[in-house]
Amino acid sequence: MDDCISELPDEILSCILTMLSIKDLLKTSVLSRRWFKLWGLRRDLYFDIHNVLGTEKELLQTGHLIDVTDVYSRTLKCVNLDLSPKEFIKRVDQFLNNFPGTAIDSFFVNFYFDCEQSNTIDQWISFAIAKGVERMDLLFLGKPYAKRTTQYKLYKFDFGLFSKTNASTLKHLCLENFLVCYPTNCDLTPFKHLRSLSLLNGKVDEIFIENLLSNCQLLEELSLVHCEFKSSVPKIISSSLCHLNVSNCYKVPPNNCFTSLKLMLVDCLKLTSLVCPGNDLSNLNINSHALKRINFCIDEYFDASALCETFPELEIMHLGIVSMGTPFLKIAQPLKHLTQLDCIYFSDITIEECGLMLILNILRASPHLQKLSIMIAYPYLFKNHKDIRDVEVFSHDEVKIIELGGCVGNWYEIEFVMNILKYAHNLEQIVLSPYWRDDDSLDWKSNPTWFQSGREKISEKLQGEEIIGREKLVLL
């Protein structure tokens, strides 16, 4: 068997080695000179707790994972900070010190680190730079087994490390749980080829972001998520930026009370995708007419229709509705290119007051919409059902799939279904489901009310109506 494996071409063996953990890969390096050479062909270096220290079962046996009870009396598995960081660093150092390769494409570290490991992290970054790395991901929250202490200092990203070489190969940079300060007299030339920058859960200097945008002429993607700024979200001005995500950024004043920061200026003529949930866009000065995809929230004081009319090329919209008066009720200009709409309601009171008429108004104004997904978070069953209304007659010939989540059998759900079946002539399926989730959560939830009476109420109401296309309705 060993002879058969040895007879395989170098390209195949090197692919096999990429599937091994760091622990097992180190063992192969002592088999022969050929295996040692093959080990050096690996161009993507990936270090996380499983790849370096073992499976969850092994981690529990060796004490690298321990059970911790949180404030909600839940038992969670967390990294043993008295043991794991030292062993993790030891094994990664062993790998890097013996790595025979001359070049790498990506360098990925996912482990719980802070300023105490600064010297080690700096050495790893210097190693990656020397190997001509193009993608670097440094995720220092250590998910999925993170354990944050009450007193700790973030690792400070040292931009000076990049100034020690004339080589400029970095194209993608992602940092999590870090501190980024704008360095004095720092040359940003090493970042001239940067294509994407993602900053998560860190403290960031807004001046640094603004200078980076003005100096990095190839930067296409920027993501600022859960970032703390000193005073404001930076002005986003770029001639190259295509994708922008600014979510849940904040500042911490002297009284340690979090204050949400809003996106105020976006001047990017090439921008095609904007994600800014939770931002108040009423004061946003935006110059991005090529936008094709947007994710944002509205409330009763915000004229969402006026905003969307400034994006004539808009194709996909993710809309969060927190509370609402009458936005979107009058849309002067049709959303001619909109093909997909994802909408989530965060208030049942909003639904009770206006039903789902808002969605039907958007549907009327979007003649080429093909898929419509609506989700009602925290659904509530209203006991007093209102009369089912017919909306103003309209016709839609493009929409194929409609999904309505968070259903419990309310009158406005029945009203919505009846009007959709009447006016969406080429509809293939409309799916009603009790399942819903928060906008940023992966966990689906459901309301038991649906299982008790929701299906029966909708079915009973529709039985008494002569509606063509009732067979297209699916009740999950």
Residue 251 maps to a domain:
no
Please report the pLDDT score of residue 148 as a whole number: 59
> Do the strands 293-298 and 273-275 form a parallel or antiparallel pair, or are they unpaired?
parallel
Residue corresponding to tokens 């529990």: 60
Residue 458 maps to a domain:
yes
Residue 16 maps to a domain:
yes
Residue 191 maps to a domain:
no
Please report the pLDDT score of residue 362 as a whole number: 79
Please say whether the beta carbons of 132 and 101 come within 8 A.
no
Whether the ω angle into residue 448 lies within 30 degrees of 0, i.e. cis, is no
Q: What angle, 0 to 180 degrees and rounded to 10, lies between the N-to-C axes of helices 84-98 and 118-130?
A: 20
Average pLDDT over residues 42-48: 88
3-class SS letters over the chain: CHHHHHCCCHHHHHHHHCCCCHHHHHHHCCCCHHHHHHHCCCCEEEEEHHHHHCCHHHHHHHCCEEEEECCCCCEEEEECCCCHHHHHHHHHHHHHHHCCCCCCCEEEEECECCHHHHHHHHHHHHHHHHCCCCEEEEECECCCCCCCCCCCCCEECCHHHHHHCCCCCCCEEEEECEEECCCCCCCCHHHCCCCEEEEECCEECHHHHHHHHHHCCCCCEEEEECCECCCCCCCEECCCCCEEEEECCEECCCCCCCEECCCCEEECCCCCEEECCCCCHHHCEEECCCCCEEEEEECCCCCHHHHHCCCCCCCEEEEEECCCCCCCCCCCCCCCCCCEEEEEECCHHHHHHHCCHHHHHHHHCCCCCCEEEEEECCCCCCCCCCCCCCCCCCCECCCCEEEEECCCCCHHHHHHHHHHHHHECCCCEEEEECEECCCCCCCCEECHHHHHHHHHHHHHHHHCCCCCCHHHEEEC
Please report the pLDDT score of residue 327 as a whole number: 47
Average pLDDT over residues 230-253: 91
Nearest to 104 by CA among 199, 18, 175: 18
For 226-251, give one letter per residue: b (16+ CB within 10 A) or e. ebbbeeebbbbebebbbbbbbbbbeb
Residue 93 maps to a domain:
no
Pick the range with the lowest mean pLDDT from 241-255, 265-279, 346-360, 401-415: 346-360
> What sign results for the dihedral spanned by CA atoms 365, 371, 377, 382?
positive
Pick the range with the lowest mean pLDDT from 147-151, 230-234, 460-464: 147-151
CATH of the domain at 30: 1.20.1280
> What sign results for the dihedral spanned by CA atoms 352, 358, 363, 364?
positive
The tokens describing 381, both together, are 């069953």
Pick the range with the lowest mean pLDDT from 192-196, 245-249, 433-437: 433-437
Q: Who has greater pLDDT, 290 or 303?
A: 290
For residue 232, is pLDDT > 60? yes
User: Over pLDDT 90: what percentage of the chain?
Assistant: 29
Domain total of the chain: 2
Pick the range with the lowest mean pLDDT from 54-58, 66-70, 134-138: 66-70
Mean of the per-residue pLDDT values of the chain: 82
Any residues with CB less than 8 A from the CB of 70 and at least 6 apart, and which? 76
Nearest to 419 by CA among 467, 458, 348: 467
Please say whether the beta carbons of 273 and 293 come within 8 A.
yes
Pick the range with the lowest mean pLDDT from 149-153, 323-327, 382-386: 323-327
Please report the pLDDT score of residue 245 as a whole number: 96
CA–CA distance, 221 with 240 (Å, rounded to integer): 9
For the entire predicted model, the pTM comes to 0.84
Residue 261 maps to a domain:
no
Burial of 290 (0-12, 13-18, 19+ CB in 10 A): middle
For residue 2, is pLDDT > 50? no
Average pLDDT over residues 157-179: 84
Residue 318 maps to a domain:
yes
For residue 43, is pLDDT > 80? yes
Residue 323 maps to a domain:
yes
- For the segment 422-451, what is each residue's pLDDT rounded down to a tens digit? 888 899 999 999 888 876 666 788 877 787
Q: Which domain holds residue 339?
A: 292-476
Please report the pLDDT score of residue 301 as a whole number: 47
Average pLDDT over residues 191-202: 93
- For the segment 352-380, what is each residue's pLDDT rounded down to a tens digit? 656 677 777 778 888 899 999 988 888 88
